[in-house]
A and B are shown apart, each in its own frame.
Chain A
Amino acid sequence: MARQGRVARLYLLAYNCAQAAGWAYSGWLLAQHVAATGSLRGAYAAAGEPVRLFQLASALEIVHAALGLVGGSPVTALMQWAGRSNVLFGVVAAVPEVQPGLAVGAMLAAWAASEVVRYPWYAAGVAGACPHWLTWLRYTAFIPLYPIGVVVEMAAVYQALPLIRGRRLRSVAMPNPFNFAFDYHTFLVALLALYPLLWFRLYSFLFRQRAKKLGPGAEAGSSAKKQA
C-alpha cells in the first residue's frame, strides 16, 4: 500500500470499478438469457461481446504488476491472462460451432461469477474499506467456481479441437519467410495436458491465501495489493 501514490490509487480504484461493472453487466446479460431460454446454451451470443472487451482490457493487469502498481509477478499475471485469452480469443472466437454449446455458456457464467466478486474486492482494498464479508466471499467463491471453470474451459477447447485440426486454424507451416512452424492443435493438446497441473497450483495458492486472510488473527479488510 505504501508504494501507491494518490493518483495510482485513484486509477486502480477506477480500473477495478470499471471491471466490476463490466462483469456485472455481462452477468446480468447471462442471467437474462437464462431467464428467457432456461439454459446457458447460446449464452455466448448474449454476453460474448462485453466478456471479450473486459477480458482484453484486463491485460492492463500485467502492466500494473510490471510497474509495481500492484504486487505479484507480471509473469504470473501474463500467464493467467494468456490462459483465459487463449480459450476465449484463440479457440472460442475462432470456432463458431462451439459457441452455442453448454460448455462455453457455463464457462462465461463461471468467469462472471468469479469476477463479480474479485474486482469489487480489489476496489474495496484500494479504497481501504473492505468489509469482512467481501473478503470472505472472495476467498470462498473460488472454491466451487474454479473447478467448475477449469472443467468447462477444457471441455470447450476439447470440443473445438477436431475443427481446429481440420481447418488448420491459427497454424503456420514451413516453408515461409520466418522459417517458423506452429501447429495450434498440437499446442492445445499439450496445454490441455498441463492445465490440471497449472490450475492446481493456482487453486492451492488461493487456499493458502484463504487461510492467511480468513484464518485466526487475520485482519479484516486486508490490502488488495497481491493480485491472484
Chain B
Amino acid sequence: MNPSKVELEAHCIDHNAKLVCLSRDPVCQVVFHFHGLLSTSQTQFSDCRGRSLDPCAIAAMDFSNFQAPGMYPYHASASKQAEKSYVDHPIMGPHSSSFTLMPSAPTTHTQYPYVTGTSVLGIKYKDGVLLAADTAGSYGSTVRYKSVERLKPVGKTTVLGASGEISDFQAINQMLEQLVTKDFMWDDGNNLGPVEIHNYLNRVMYNRRNKFDPLWNSLVLGGVKNGEKYLGVVTMIGVHYVDDHVATGFGNHLARPIFRDEWRPDLTLEEAVALLEKCMLVLFYRDRSAVNKFQIANITDGGVQITEPYALQTNWSLKAFENPTAGAVGSW
C-alpha cells in the first residue's frame, strides 16, 4: 500500500493550536508547510492516530516560508508579497527565503560551481529509455566524493540525471518532489509525465538564467508514459531539445559520435546497455573528472529501475602502451 502524502498548511500557529492529520489512511506521511511565524507556543503536531509527528518529517519540510522571529527585521512587508503567484515557490520565488541572511542585497549573481558531476548519457531503445552517469562529485580538480547518485526517479515514469553543481541538483529534486506530491494530491487519475517535467524544468532553468542566477546544471530527462518513449535535455541557460540519444558535457564530444554510428531504434536492452558501457568506458579513460563507478537507469512502461553502482573492466594491456618512447626518447 502506498503511503499517501498529505500536506497541511498552517497559516497561523496560535497558542494551543493542534495540527492533526485528517487522512483516514493509517500509513501516511505528513508534510508541513509553514506560512507565518513559528513561535514557541503550545503547537502540537500529531499524525492521524494522535501520535506525535515523526521528527524525520521535519527534514522534509518546505522551509521556503519559514519565518523565524528576529531573522530579518527589515522584512516587514513580507506578507504583502502573498498576492504574487511565485512567492511560495521554492526555486522561482524571490530569493528572500527565510534562510537568506542579507535580503536587501541583490540576489542576481552568476555563481561558480563548487561540487560538480560530469557527463550524463541517455539513449532510447526498443522497450524504453536508458540513462547512465558515474557517481563522482568533483571539487575543482579533486575527485572529492565518489558515491554521489546523479540519477534520481521523478514520479513513476521518469528519471532525471544531472551534471554540474550538485547542490543545485539537490534543490531541483526537492522542488520536483513537492511538485509530484501536489500532483498526487489532485487524485484525478493523471500524473506528471516526462513531457510535463521537461517543460517545467525548461521554464525553471530559463527564468533563472534571465535573472542572472542560474541553476548550474545540464539535465537529462528520460521517461516512458503510455508506451511513448521520451528523452530530453535542459541546460543551465534554458536550451532544451529532445532526441534519440543525448549527452551532457564531455559526453557530447566523446559519446555522441559513437551513438551516431551505432545507435538503432530497435536495440534490445542488452545491446543498449553494451553501447552505453562502451561510451562510459571511453569517458572514464578520457575525462579526468570521471570515476569507474556507474549507475544505469532503465525506464520502461513497467516503471523505473536504477542499478546499484558498479564498475567496468578496463583494458591497459595494449602493446603500444608498454614502451611508447622506445623509438623517440624523451617523447611521451
| A, B in one complex | no
Binding site for A on B (CB under 8 A): none
Binding site for B on A (CB under 8 A): none
